[in-house]
Amino acid sequence: MTKIMGYADRLSLQPGETVGIMASVIGADRFRAEIVRLLNPNAGMGASDYREAAIETPANGTYKGREQKIHAGSFGVVPEKWALKSIESFTLQAYVWPTTPKKGPQALLGTWAEPGTGFGLALDAKGAAEVRIGGFKLTSGVPMLERRWYLVAASFDAKSGQVRLWQEPIYDKTFHAERPVFVEGSAKTSASDRGAPFLFAAWRAGEARAPTLWGHLLTAGHFNGRIDRPRLARVALDRAQIQALTSGMLPSGVEEEVLGVWDFSKDISSERIADLSPNRLDGQVVNLPTRAVPGHNWTGAEMNWTKAPEQYGAIHFHDDDISDAKWQPDFSFTVPANATSGFYAAKLTADEAYFYVPFFVRPTRGTAKAKIAFLASTATYTVYANNRGRFAGMRTELYQGRLSMMDAVDILQFEYPEMGVSTYDRHADGSGVSISSRLRPVTNWKPHGRLWNYCCDLFIVDWLEHTGLGYDVITDHDLHAEGQDLLRPYNVVITGSHPEYWSLEMLDALDGYQRQGGRHIYMGGNGFYWRIAFHPTDSNIIEVRRSEDGVRAWDARVGEYYHQFTGEYGGLWRRQGRAPQVATGVGFISQGFDASSYYRRTEQSRDPRVNFMFEGIKDEILGNFGVLQGGAAGLEIDCADFALGTPPHALIVAKSENHSNTYILVAEEINIGHGALDAVQNAAIHADLTFFETPNGGAVFSTGSIAYAGSLPINGFDNNIAKLTTNILKRFVDDTPFPMPK
């Protein structure tokens, strides 16, 4: 059966800029490409008929198909340098913390390569420390335990052939019964492998035809776990000298024989590996392993790695890390000067297979073509990229009360696991995924399938098209880079159905825009929730540390709450003094996926300040219909909370009601784990339609529900939700200032 997948080298483009499209085709020698603008989601019965507008461009056409591989798995590499070319005798050592010691042979460090050249430390098939010298192997014979620190060291004297290996558990205040292991043997072989790179957490497995993330290097034996304070000497050290070297001292009498003294606590925010020896055998990490994690000497006294970096000298490698598929482009598309801003995609087809490669067209920087901007939640889309857990986990079907639906594109995640997963998943070793990259095929950025995030936001695009008022599309990535200047030209900024992940730069920009009179319509639920960090040099990559609180697919280990990219504390914005209620008047209160409900108008909806909202609307019940589980209030919902920052003059014009008992209070609302926790028992669980004015003539309206967007297209937009929202949009576009209430 034919398969096709792809991704774009750029996410947000201005007129005149060019995007490269990378494709991989299996089972066909040709594929078809067409550039389209996406106008609504393929949502089935009750919604608008699916529409995509074909763009006339030379990029449309048939192209030669080829398979392009993804090389997953993180590792560290020191390039071939003179100091690595003359090694005969050696000592290798490091602190290691294995997480899957029984998965099979795994590399730790060295120059060893398949089928058997060079030298290195590894784990054998049972998880015991092993030294390899050419085809010779010596193992400790004692498997290591998971998530426990060990000092592993090996020495080889080329003249005598003596090989020694140490495997010693590190005291960690637990009551493990392990004892140090020492073995020795004799090898008649050579450690020399001239011109070879020195690797951490992988070994060489040949050369690739196409470029990989490190030249054409192919790797195998990827290690799951942490490595701290690796060392290399070109002489066989004794145990006392090994101990001295672990502490950073050069053993007396052999100072010039020490080649590498790597300190992973240096340059944590970068991809650089620093060598403190005079040889400067610096290197880099590949495929972005996790840094800013406690090392073997972490005491627990300092949680912030920036305050005690010497205790965060470990790197956590994973065999499924992926930062960039590194494919070669198959064709490109240049945005025409007169292009309409919007959601775009390269639609790839080969036989019966298809794949959408999304990107966005924005106005030229510093300009606006409309008074309305729709801010596409590209940070959230990236964080959710390739969410495999929604299919692999049993809880999804339990939450929704139905079987999960998968299409051919969804299945690609399981057929090609090297695509990587989302930050809602766990690595193969059970640790949470904290880094997500857009530079790979993504299966859940498409206009059909699960109506969530990207796909759900197309309901809002469809409604905007229906209003005929005109709009620009801008992205989170643009906002992070350009700040408030991006928003300033617009009367109204609309955020989507689930703008969950925000950087400090993004949040500050929105805050400044609102304070200067900008109007904001928040069209979703569970927004402005998690703090994120963008990679310092590549905005395609985003990090999230799920610390201490919140509704989480996994929680960060103690000591791992601060982002490696920026040093910022991770977790909920609420726990950092910036609850969502401050920006939007509402914040996350509950989630449920069996059914969505409706809103009932409140007495505050009769306030003259909001008369404009309800022009032409006589209904008391709003949104008792919708594509997303039958109503406008559901999936994930937000409510006002004046203690958390809802402005005191805010009006709650409608409240949802009649949610099922699957709607439970979010974790951050629970101090004692018993009592009235579900919506049937607890009236606090509801969504609020909220309005308030801001300084300088601005205003904010919030829906407090992800499901809200799915009610807009019902009955051809002839419904009270579409009418209410359009009334609000028209007033927000109007230049007439909103007076602050007295």
Secondary structure tally for the chain: helices H, strands E: 11, 44
Per DSSP, the three-state class of 24 is strand
Other beta carbons within 10 angstroms of residue 215's beta carbon come to 12
Per DSSP, the three-state class of 636 is strand
Question: Diameter of the chain by CA atoms?
Answer: 95
* Rounded Cα gap, residues 236 and 156, in angstroms: 5
pLDDT value, residue 693: 98
Per DSSP, the three-state class of 357 is strand
Q: Which residues neighbour 96 within 8 Å (Cβ) at sequence distance 6 or greater? A: 108, 144, 149, 150, 152, 225, 226, 227, 228
Exposed / middle / buried, residue 502 (Cβ in 10 Å: 0-12, 13-18, 19+): buried
* Rounded Cα gap, residues 455 and 278, in angstroms: 54
Other beta carbons within 10 angstroms of residue 333's beta carbon come to 22
Exposed / middle / buried, residue 395 (Cβ in 10 Å: 0-12, 13-18, 19+): exposed
Nearest partner of 296 among 458, 159, 169, judged by Cα: 169
pLDDT value, residue 457: 98
* The residue to which tokens 């495929």 are assigned: 287
How far apart, in Å, are the Cα atoms of 29 and each of 2, 24, 58, 67, 281? Answer: 10, 10, 21, 9, 44
Helix, strand, coil: what percent of the chain each, to 5?
20, 30, 50
Per DSSP, the three-state class of 612 is helix
**What residue ranges do the domains of the chain occupy?**
75-317, 370-733
pLDDT value, residue 729: 98
Exposed / middle / buried, residue 575 (Cβ in 10 Å: 0-12, 13-18, 19+): middle
Phi, psi values for residue 199, rounded to 5°:
-115, 155
Question: What H or E segment, with its residue span, contains residue 506?
Answer: helix 504-515
Nearest partner of 624 among 701, 707, 735, judged by Cα: 707
Q: Which residues neighbour 301 within 8 Å (Cβ) at sequence distance 6 or greater? A: 308
Cβ 590 vs Cβ 638: under 8 Å: no
Q: For strands 633-640 and 75-78, give the pairing.
A: unpaired
Strands (E), 67-180: 75-78, 90-98, 106-110, 119-123, 129-133, 136-139, 150-156, 162-169
CATH fold for the domain made of 75-317: Jelly Rolls (2.60.120)
- In this prediction, the residues of the chain whose per-residue pLDDT falls under 50 are none
pLDDT value, residue 531: 98
pLDDT value, residue 214: 83
Per DSSP, the three-state class of 120 is strand
Q: Kindly list the strands in the beta sheet with 3-8, ordered across the sheet, starting from the edge strand earlier in the chain.
A: 3-8, 18-26, 331-334
How far apart, in Å, are the Cα atoms of 566 and each of 85, 287, 542, 544, 550? Answer: 37, 18, 11, 11, 21
pLDDT value, residue 131: 98
Per DSSP, the three-state class of 596 is strand
Q: What angle do CA 106, 108, 109 make, to 5 degrees?
A: 135
pLDDT value, residue 683: 87
Q: Alpha-carbon dihedral of residues 368, 369, 370, 373, nearest 10 degrees? A: -50
